[in-house]
Amino acid sequence: MAVNLKAPEVLYPVKGVRLGAAEAAIKKAGRKDLLVIELAPGSRVAGVFTRNAFCAAPVLLCRERLAAGSEIRALLVNAGNANAATGEGGLSDARATAAAVAKTLGCGAGAVLPFSTGVIGQRLPVERMSAAIPKAAAALSADGWQDAARAIMTTDTLPKGATRRVRTGQGEVTVTGIAKGVGMICPDMATMLAFVGTDARLTPAATRACLRDAVAQSFNCVTVDGDTSTNDSCVLFATAQVGGAEVDERHPDYPAVAGAVAEVCRELAHAVVRDGEGATKFIAIEVGGARSEAEARRVAYAVAHSPLVKTAMFASDANWGRIVMAIGKAGVEGLDPRGVGVALDAVPLIERGEPHPDYREELGAAVVAKPEFAIRIGLGRGAARATVWTCDFSYEYVKINAEYRT
């Protein structure tokens, strides 16, 4: 049911990155559900992770290893099991599977970052994963991005990937990324799982800055259902295979590389929302006239998270009363309804806090019947603005989540 989304036709190889997937029967047999990503020596790796207090064991281990400044040579990703709320046993499982990758690839145990997604509260099948890791390593290929995108899926209906090539003063740079969603999506750092690689020679500090800025305008601007996952992780790895000069934030090549990373992250973030569980509508919530970006974002999320708004959008019901309700509950101090305006695309609903004199129900209904549209809100308080992308709530969303463990 993905909204105007297709599986990526082309994902350009990134010099210094090889990917291989294998079957480990983590949740169900008969599909590739384990991924190994090998990075060239000298790669620079940055990550952002969930702030959920019940963050998963792999998140804890990744934070620890990145904070220690360890050289990262590989990533291990599994689907079907989140390894979250599993205590010390879960940490032991994450270390054991990462160590199995290290042994297979011939690198240090601390050079492997593990990632998991799937059901919370269950231990990893370490033996099955360890047996599958050599098979994934045997499949390592620079052209493995498509298989990788499929291997990390859970309830996604389509694999998600994005790719760019840009010219720089030191040569052509490639940026390619993959991501998975699709429910429990309301990032507070990054989202779900996303892995983005570039062959640019970014410095470690520039790699971190590039990821931070890209996430701020992409993954931190989407929501499916308002629930922040225990496993959200977004990683950028720069393999330093293009050019001889280090690219820091002041280098003339940096804007082109950072721009490509931001574009890839934005495309992936949109893909996650377009393939939200049961989604039939892709909705931009655009808020302007705020006193700060934080205020604008608060209002946008209040609308995007409202089950009443989301179910009305699924029904193609232009029930603008639910939209103004959500604006009013956002907690904006001193908000004067007389300054508020609301439109659906170019169709005005509310002007100065009252129904627009030209509004007719059939005009609004025509907008919300489309698979993509915008809810545009003006607060009349300032010049700041923000946009959040979300989807509707359908019968299928309830069915998927009611049957998630069956």
Domains of the chain as residue ranges with CATH: 17-274 (3.60.70.12), 282-402 (3.10.20.340)
Is 191 designated active site? yes
What CA–CA distances, in Å, run from 395 to 34, 67, 220, 402? 31, 43, 26, 11
Task: Give the separation between CA 208 and CA 206, rounded to whole angstroms.
Answer: 5
Instruction: Tell me what pLDDT residue 45 has.
Output: 98
Walk along the chain (406 residues) and give the pLDDT tens digit of each residue. Answer: 689 999 999 999 999 999 999 999 998 898 999 999 999 999 999 999 987 788 899 999 999 999 999 899 999 999 999 999 999 999 999 999 999 999 999 999 899 999 999 888 999 999 999 999 999 999 999 999 999 999 999 878 999 999 999 999 999 999 999 999 765 555 554 447 999 999 999 999 999 999 999 999 998 888 876 656 677 889 999 999 999 999 999 999 999 999 999 999 999 999 999 998 889 999 999 999 999 999 999 999 999 999 999 999 999 999 999 999 999 999 999 999 999 999 999 999 999 999 999 999 999 999 999 999 999 999 999 999 999 999 999 988 878 778 766 6
Q: Please identify which of the residues 50, 104, 191, 223 carries the catalytic annotation.
A: 191
Task: Give the separation between CA 162 and CA 177, rounded to whole angstroms.
Answer: 5
Q: Where are the alpha helices (DSSP H) in 222-292?
A: 254-274
With CA atoms as reference, report the closest residue to 48 among 197, 268, 213, 183.
213
Q: For the chain, what is the total number of helices (H) and then of strands (E)?
A: 11, 15
DSSP lists the bridge partners of residue 80 as 118
